[in-house]
Structure 1
Amino acid sequence: MPTLILSMSLFALAASLSPGPVNLVALHSGLHFGLRRALRHVTGATLGFTLLLVLIGSGMEGLSAIVPRLTELLRWVGMGYLLWMAWGLSRSDGPGHERAAPLPPSFWRGALMQWLNPKAWIASAAGVSVYTADGGAALTVLFIVLFFVICYASLASWALLGARLGRRVMEQRRLQWLNRLMAAGLVIAALSITLI
């Protein structure tokens, strides 16, 4: 059992900590609004992902068989949403100098991002099929609890990194470059959705 818990934890860590759109928004939120306010996004994204994991763990993956176009629709809607966020981020020049002010962190936007994020769907489906298929409800609950804790800690670390960078990079020119770099990351994430 300890080996299984370690394996589940490493899977959750790799899926949660690796750069992706939700993590970039956590970084951006910490950078522009500080850690406390960024935790709204972190909490929403973690709970949104956990709800997705619970539903997939309880058999919702059969929905894709019923609605074959669900994955394709999710891919295009998610890509559009990421591109819209990248556009807004690329236009942000920093506190007090925005052409387009960055959206403040939101619980609901964080949760919505997970539901529009194909990476979250794939990680949920893969994790459930690998770790809980033969283990029953107790193993599913264990996987969900581990993933919740690791996901929250991972996203919070991105927000903390943003808050720390925000204290050091308050010069407008540096913020512009950092915002554009994060926007480019979101564009790459959006375009990579087409490869899934």
Structure 2
Amino acid sequence: MTVSILLMMSAFALAASISPGPVNLVCLSSGTRYPISQGLIFVTGATLGFIALFIGVGLGLYSVLALVPWLEEALRWGGIGFLLYLSLRLFLDDGRLPDREARAAPGFMTGALMQWLNPKAWLASASGIGAYTNGSELDQVIVFAALYLPICWLSLGSWVYAGAFLRRHIQRPVVLVTINRVLALLLAATCLYLLFE
């Protein structure tokens, strides 16, 4: 594999990972609400969940879904339902920073599951593998996944840090409510986009 292919894979991974999407919005929200360390647990789950999905798609999972249309449709609707549930929770948030006894931050398993229900993750996996690998070469998929792993983690982590920056500078609950509601509406808008694409 040439250096130019590795650079193109890395650029694709960066563009796909750092661009706004449902997981990125949850990372931003986690940064505004919880300690950075808790947000990074979600990031780690989301990253490893994505890498597992990416390798699965590289091994032909997407082809299996194409053969079983109802399963692909069920995943789509399940993903949209999960994203709408998260956006509703975010919209109803009161903007108060949590106490120790308060509701837990989204964790590792939420991050991993969210990637499997995230249409953006499926699209990024299928298009990246289609563009930069030969479907029959597992070693290419593994190299691509190895590049994706740190890029995805750092990209999602930067959204948590952006949220933490907002938290440090905006302590008033009314401002955090506004931010949460804007993020919730953006998350819901991604669901509408997925419904009508």
Instruction: Compute the TM-score of the two structures, normalised by the length of structure 2.
Output: 0.92
Deviation of residue 65 (structure 1)? 3.0
Other structure's SS at 2:96 match = coil
Other structure's SS at 1:165 match = helix
Deviations 1:33-64 (A, max 9, x none): 02111011100000000000111111222211
Structure 1 residues not aligned, in runs of 5+: none
Q: Tell me if the contact between 1:31 and 1:162 (Cα under 8 Å) persists in the aligned partners.
A: yes
Matched, 1:53 2:54: yes
Deviation of residue 11 (structure 1)? 0.8
After superposing on structure 2, the runs of 4+ consecutive aligned residues of structure 1 that deviate more than 3 Å are none
Residue 190 of structure 2 corresponds to which residue in structure 1?
189
C-alpha distance 67-134 of structure 1, shift in aligned 2 (>3 A): closer
Q: Tell me if the contact between 1:12 and 1:151 (Cα under 8 Å) persists in the aligned partners.
A: yes
Correspondences of 1:23-62 after superposition (within 5 Å): 23-62=24-63
Residue 124 of structure 2 corresponds to which residue in structure 1?
123
Aligned residues, how many? 194
Residue 78 of structure 2 corresponds to which residue in structure 1?
77
Q: Distance in 2 between matches of 1:69 and 1:182?
A: 31
C-alpha distance 138-97 of structure 1, shift in aligned 2 (>3 A): closer
Structure 2 residues not aligned, in runs of 5+: none
Deviation of residue 116 (structure 1)? 0.5
Q: Tell me if the contact between 1:89 and 1:102 (Cα under 8 Å) persists in the aligned partners.
A: no
Instruction: Compute the TM-score of the two structures, normalised by the length of structure 1.
Output: 0.93
Letter paired with 2:150: V
Deviation of residue 155 (structure 1)? 0.3
Correspondences of 1:78-93 after superposition (within 5 Å): 78-93=79-94
Other structure's SS at 2:69 match = coil
* Aligned-residue RMSD, C-alpha: 1.8
Letter paired with 1:43: T
Q: Distance in 2 between matches of 1:49 and 1:76?
A: 19
Q: Quick check: 60-69 or 83-92, which moved more?
A: 60-69
Q: Distance in 1 between matches of 2:103 and 2:193?
A: 24
